[in-house]
């Protein structure tokens, strides 16, 4: 099955991820967006952080929009995420956002941390 993608600076968001983000944001106060960032930690060295924020985009933020979904990614995190695809999985083992990162050389079993 193929999905159309929305690209901004080599980061893409699948339709499935956009629908889930929009659903989450619809239950939050107006102006809420999803901020995705990369931080040190996790079992593989780096981990993704997902935060619902009322922030206005900073000058160095990348704003990824698709329908009602809005994602902010700061420029430092973008250095680690370039070429990534943001997806949402809903399968037998659970529901989760997944970032398919071509820069990662290893990742943990749950997919929330990675190594470069």
In the DSSP assignment, the letter for residue 19 is H
Domain extent listing, the chain: 5-115
Sign of CA dihedral 40, 41, 45, 50: negative
Q: From the CB of residue 86, how many other CB atoms can be counted at a distance below 10 Å?
A: 30
pLDDT of amino acid 36: 96
Residue 107: phi, psi to the nearest 5?
-145, 165
Give 14's pLDDT tier (boundaries 50, 70, 90).
Answer: very high
pLDDT at position 6 over 50: no
Give the distance from CA 8 to its chain's centroid.
Answer: 12
Does the structural domain 5-115 have CATH classification 2.60.300.12? yes
Give this prediction's pTM. Answer: 0.80
pLDDT (average), residues 5-33: 87
The tens digit of pLDDT for each residue in 61-114 reads 999 999 999 999 999 999 889 899 999 988 877 788 889 988 876 565 555 555
């Amino acid at each position: 099955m193929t999905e159309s993608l929305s690209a901004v600076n080599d980061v893409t968001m699948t339709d499935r991820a956009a629908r889930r983000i929009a659903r989450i944001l619809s239950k939050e106060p107006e102006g809420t967006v999803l901020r995705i960032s990369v931080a040190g930690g996790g079992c593989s060295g780096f981990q993704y952080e997902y935060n619902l924020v009322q922030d206005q985009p900073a000058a160095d933020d990348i704003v990824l929009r698709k329908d009602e979904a809005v994602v902010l990614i700061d420029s430092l995190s973008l250095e680690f995420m370039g070429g990534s695809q943001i997806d949402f999985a809903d399968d037998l083992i659970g529901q989760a956002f997944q970032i398919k990162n071509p820069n990662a050389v290893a990742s943990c079993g749950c997919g929330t941390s990675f190594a470069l």
